[in-house]
Amino acid sequence: MITLYHYLHCPFCVRVRLVLGFLEIPYKSVVLDYDDESTPVELCGKKMLPLIKNIDGSTMNESLDIMSILDKDNRLSPNKDISSFIKELGSNVHPLAMPYFIYTPEFNDKSRKYFQEKKEAYKGPFKQMYKNREQYLIGLNKSLNSLEQLLDPFYESDKITHEDILIASHLWGMYIVPEFQFSDIVHSYLQKVKHLCRFEYHKESWE
């Protein structure tokens, strides 16, 4: 059985969890504390998750590469370059959700402090992100309005594809942002992805 080392909040880690669930691939889940530097460095030489350890002991830690290896039969049939749209989503989702990630059960006092210091060092103070939330919400809602026009009921498709995994993994963090609500259309879309991928965001925190 493969082992997945991951963070619950991380959209790149969520990508891999969604694919594993959709493909019904059994795996051992290891949720690392965010301040655990030694484990990923020992396994792959740098602090980078998600990380898959195969039964033969080999490891890999790039989410898109992992997704490609897992989906060897191409059941999710990636065929569109939506990297610019994913970057657009991330530019607004991350500053909106990041200040709230640290108050989920995934974090303890030590890892919470580590996460905030690391993120603020290159993204700026969480307090400023909060102050600018209306700006980010405007940008996010613009992206979501565009997304709604392309759902059929999945992204330009009548079945779930690689693109839906990328989109849903980035949007999922918004469920923890107080007072934010997806439109009925986008919420229904995300719930379809959740169902097909057998996904529970914070399941490991409660087990």
Residue-level pLDDT at 77? 87
Q: Find the domain containing 13 and state its range.
A: 2-76
Residues 92, 14 within the same domain: no
Q: What is the CATH number of the domain that holds 134?
A: 1.20.1050.10
Q: Is 72 exposed, middle or buried (0-12, 13-18, 19+ CB in 10 A)?
A: exposed
Q: Say if 90 falls within a structural domain.
A: yes
Domain boundary pick from 76, 101, 129: 76
Residues 119, 192 within the same domain: yes
Burial 125-150 (b: 16+ CB within 10 A, else e): ebeebeeebeebeebbeebbeebeee
Q: Say if 206 falls within a structural domain.
A: no
Instruction: Reply yes or no on whether the pLDDT at 203 is more than 90.
Output: no
Residue-level pLDDT at 205? 77
pLDDT band at 206 (very low <50, low <70, confident <90, very high): confident
Give the CA distances from residue 194 to residues 1, 10, 37, 112, in Å, rounded to whole numbers and listed in that order: 23, 16, 30, 27
pLDDT band at 62 (very low <50, low <70, confident <90, very high): very high
- Taking the C-alpha atoms of residue 70 and residue 179, their distance in angstroms, rounded to an integer, is 36
Instruction: Reply yes or no on whether the pLDDT at 207 is more than 90.
Output: no
The string of pLDDT tens digits covering residues 102-149 is: 999 999 999 999 999 999 999 999 999 999 999 999 999 999 999 999
The string of pLDDT tens digits covering residues 49-60 is: 999 999 888 999
Instruction: Reply yes or no on whether the pLDDT at 6 is more than 80.
Output: yes
Q: What is the mean pLDDT of residues 59-65?
A: 93
Model-level pTM?
Answer: 0.96
Residues 104, 13 within the same domain: no
Peptide bond into 153 cis (omega under 30): yes
Q: What is the mean pLDDT of residues 6-35?
A: 97
pLDDT band at 65 (very low <50, low <70, confident <90, very high): very high
Q: What is the CATH number of the domain that holds 21?
A: 3.40.30.10
